[in-house]
Amino acid sequence: MQYKELRPFPKNFLWGASTSAYQVEGAWDADGKGKSVIDMMDHADGTAGFTVASDHYHRYKEDIRLFHELGLKAYRFSIAWTRIFPDGVGEVNEKGLAHYEELIDELLHYGIEPIVTLYHFDLPYALEEKGGWGNRETIDAFVKYACVVFDRLGKKVSYWLTINEQNTLILHPGAVGIPKGGKLPSKNDLYQQNHHMLVAQGKVMALCHEMCPHAQIGPAINMTSMYQATSKPEDAIAAHNWETIRGWSFLDLAVHGRYNRLLWSYLENRNWQPVIEEGDLFAIQKGNPDFIAINYYSTATIAESTGDASDVSPRAGDQQIMLGEPGVYRAEENPYVDKTKYGWVIDPVGLRLTLRKVYERYNLPIIITENGIGASDKLNEDGTIHDDYRIDFIKSHLEQIQWALTDGVEVMGYCPWAAIDVVSTHQGYGKRYGFIYVNRGEFDILDLKRIRKDSFFWYKRVIESNGVDGLFHND
């Protein structure tokens, strides 16, 4: 649909950027922090680990001053559960709580809204040894952790996210990393974990509404639209299969508190349905999210399954994993979209479509909590980093957000990945995302100096003008 003119970005639009604790903080064992599953995973050879990362834990004041210079209205970050409860349960680690309170105070001092993710992939390893999310006791541990955080930080935080990309954890458990021993959970185990996460999420959202009545809370899902490869009806069915299993089934539970019927038929047919105890669905329903956070990177193109092993075709990795599944769908190439050097599909228009679909289905405000392009940024001899590709990527997606706003979608904010260079889960510092360069190599820490990229100055201009300057080729 085309319009005579586009609707402007709202005056209170949350122009932000994102990170996660394990990818940016470093200080992996400082001040009483316990080990997480990330700390104990086997990392890719030849790439940086997470022990030092970008040392944000020690340098957050310097970083927040840069965020203020950038003009950020919001900073989306995660709390490391193991800084609060080193073993996931037990005694509270005061130093961990104090760190996040100081970080939040620093943000508020500069007028930056904290958007806090409670869980971003880094489950305490002590809980993993007891069965992780497959153990119902982890539900209670997560609720207890959230209660302590809400009690200490709740008055200072207006926006909370529960679990980051639950669908990635369940559908592609190897995307985050391979656990010690290299064995991934079975589908039965994964969907039981998924159910326990949903119960925990529902209880924590209800707890937030009770303890922090001024605040809003919502799930953070990796969401995207699926295109059918051709006008063949069976391709349309396959695209709907995967769009439902990958996205709608998770959000239907988080928002409506009920299992999607297509998903449940899929699970029953394969004998993968989880054990649901009395009161579980009520706990999920009681969550009642205030908004939906989506991480959007790309779309996918889907064709009818052939029903055999040829459906399975490994792709680029991370959120871009597109394996195919016999009897469900197969992935196809899309000639109408671009790709990054890492094979990630670039589809800004797909963001507009995804926003329209999510808003039409749930009628809740949406905040985009991840969107970005990874690249091997080059630090020049004169201290500059020319990342026009990042400017082009983010500009094209912001333009489509403005189209979505004009379509009537209530988009409340945009927090691209990432505020500052972080450790890429699979490519270390060979693949960077930030507006701010961190001067370090894979294993040579160097001086960790923060250097503004060209995209820093461009995004600053966009924010200052509330999206008027720097978009739609007007610069």
Residue 235 in contact with residue 308, Cβ under 8 Å? no
Per-position b or e across 129-162, b if 16+ CB within 10 A of its CB: ebebbbbbebbebbbbbbbebbebbbebbbbbbb
- Residues ≥6 apart with Cβ < 8 Å to 52: 26, 27, 28, 440, 445
Sort 3 into a burial class: Cβ within 10 Å, 0-12 / 13-18 / 19+: exposed
Catalytic residue among 165, 243, 332, 399: 165
Sort 180 into a burial class: Cβ within 10 Å, 0-12 / 13-18 / 19+: exposed
Residues 164, 117: Cα–Cα separation, whole Å: 7
Q: Is 137 a catalytic residue?
A: no
Question: Which of 294, 324, 306, 330 lies closest to 414 in space, CA to CA?
Answer: 294
Query: Which residue has 């055999």 as its token pair?
Result: 308
H-helix or E-strand containing 300? strand 300-303
Query: Which residue has 């959000």 as its token pair?
Result: 251
Give the start-end residues of each E strand in 325-447: 330-332, 338-339, 345-346, 366-370, 411-414, 436-438
Residues 79, 301: Cα–Cα separation, whole Å: 35
Residues 244, 238: Cα–Cα separation, whole Å: 10
Residues 209, 342: Cα–Cα separation, whole Å: 41
Segment 134-141 long-range contacts (CB within 8 Å, at least 24 positions apart):
134/185, 134/189, 134/192, 134/193, 134/196, 135/196, 136/196, 136/277, 138/88, 138/196, 138/200, 139/196, 139/199, 139/200, 139/203, 141/85, 141/88, 141/89
Catalytic residue among 106, 128, 243, 370: 370
Question: Which of 155, 191, 165 lies closest to 78 in space, CA to CA?
Answer: 165
Q: Is 464 a catalytic residue?
A: no
| Torsion, Cα of 411, 415, 416, 419 (10° steps) | 170
β-strands 338-339, 345-346 pairing: antiparallel
Identity of the amino acid at 418: A
> Which residue numbers are catalytic?
165, 370
